[in-house]
């Protein structure tokens, strides 16, 4: 009797092990399929010809994956055109410029058309101006062509609470702006020179892409004003009031892109949170790059418009 029970137990144990092995194999296969299903756009390939659609939303910061995706679009022979859907207040100057450069690489090999949504200001307009044609709605807020750096002067507050900062640095312009010391005339002039240099670079992009003279761009946008769609059109910043349907119609009429060609959305599956990362970048740009002098880097200069962040400037 004992021998029979032992053999039954051994058989049951072996059967259980076989079942566990199969479950382990199925689990590994399941995880593998899940990983493959969640690969980002670097592995996203469409078999047939199509128009690629890409969204630019939130605050624009440096994002190598997004730039990589745009380069993939440029290289993919199945992509016959790129339609940009832009709804963003802008972002850092370097992040916006990297998107502009990547979009120009796409435009060298296939048509690029931009449709600006509720907002496409500052760095977001820099992205739009890389396109071959720009559309906007009547209520689109755009423009704000310029750059900004913000800091604070807390020296009076520190004096009231009895704090006296001691600053030892290698030169008068080192680590400026710094809220723990007054901004000198020389430092203000030097920082204004940096802002003016990047503002000029922005205006030159607009002038080149919109077939305007630099003086025209300066006269129409030099003060950094925001504009509605119709006003921006009068200023030469966009081509037509219209939506994605109008953009597809233009691609068909002017670029020979079949209006019935499927439109596929390209995106990063593990979506990079531009708004969250951008908020962190803006926080560092407005505060951290001043409160922590050693972290003052060029990317602290923003091509951004948002009333709650830049005071509407």
Catalytic positions are: 122, 174
Distances (CA, A) of 108 to 9, 81, 112, 130, 312: 72, 11, 9, 11, 35
CA distance linking residue 64 with residue 290, whole number of Å = 26
Give the dihedral of Cα atoms 26, 29, 33, 34; nearest 10 deg.
60
Q: Taking the CB of residue 75, how many other CB atoms lie within 10 A of it?
A: 11
235 contacts 206 by C-beta, under 8 angstroms: no
Residues 6 or more apart from 70 whose CB is under 8 A from it? 54, 99, 102, 103, 105, 106
Residues 6 or more apart from 146 whose CB is under 8 A from it? 122, 199, 202, 221, 222, 224, 303
CA distance linking residue 113 with residue 250, whole number of Å = 9
């Amino acid at each position: 009797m004992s021998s029979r029970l032992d053999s039954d137990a051994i058989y049951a144990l072996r059967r259980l092990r076989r079942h566990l092995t199969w479950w382990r194999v199925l689990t590994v296969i399941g995880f593998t399929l899940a990983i493959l299903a969640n690969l980002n756009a670097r592995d996203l390939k469409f078999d047939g010809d199509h128009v690629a659609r890409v969204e630019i939303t939130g605050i624009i910061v440096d994002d190598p994956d997004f730039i990589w995706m745009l380069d993939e679009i440029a290289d993919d022979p199945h992509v016959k055109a790129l339609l940009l859907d832009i709804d963003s207040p802008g972002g850092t100057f370097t992040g916006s410029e990297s998107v502009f450069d990547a979009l120009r690489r796409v435009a060298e090999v296939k048509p690029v058309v931009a449709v600006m949504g509720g907002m496409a200001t500052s760095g977001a307009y820099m992205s739009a101006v890389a396109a071959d044609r720009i559309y906007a709605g009547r209520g689109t807020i755009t423009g704000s062509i310029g750059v900004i750096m913000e800091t604070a002067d807390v020296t009076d507050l520190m004096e009231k609470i009895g704090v006296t900062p001691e600053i030892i640095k290698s030169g008068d312009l080192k680590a400026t702006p710094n809220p723990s010391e007054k901004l000198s005339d020389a430092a203000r002039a030097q920082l204004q020179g940096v802002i003016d240099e990047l503002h000029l670079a922005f205006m030159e992009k607009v002038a080149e892409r919109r077939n305007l003279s630099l003086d025209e761009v300066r006269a129409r946008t030099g003060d950094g004003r925001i504009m509605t769609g119709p006003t921006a059109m009068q200023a030469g910043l966009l081509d037509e009031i219209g939506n994605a349907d109008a953009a597809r119609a233009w691609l068909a009429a002017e670029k020979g892109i079949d209006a019935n060609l499927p439109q596929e959305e390209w995106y990063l599956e593990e979506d990079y949170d531009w708004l969250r990362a951008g908020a962190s970048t803006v926080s560092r740009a407005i505060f951290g790059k001043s409160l922590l002098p050693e972290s003052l880097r060029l990317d602290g200069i923003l091509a951004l418009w948002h009333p709650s962040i830049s005071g509407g400037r």
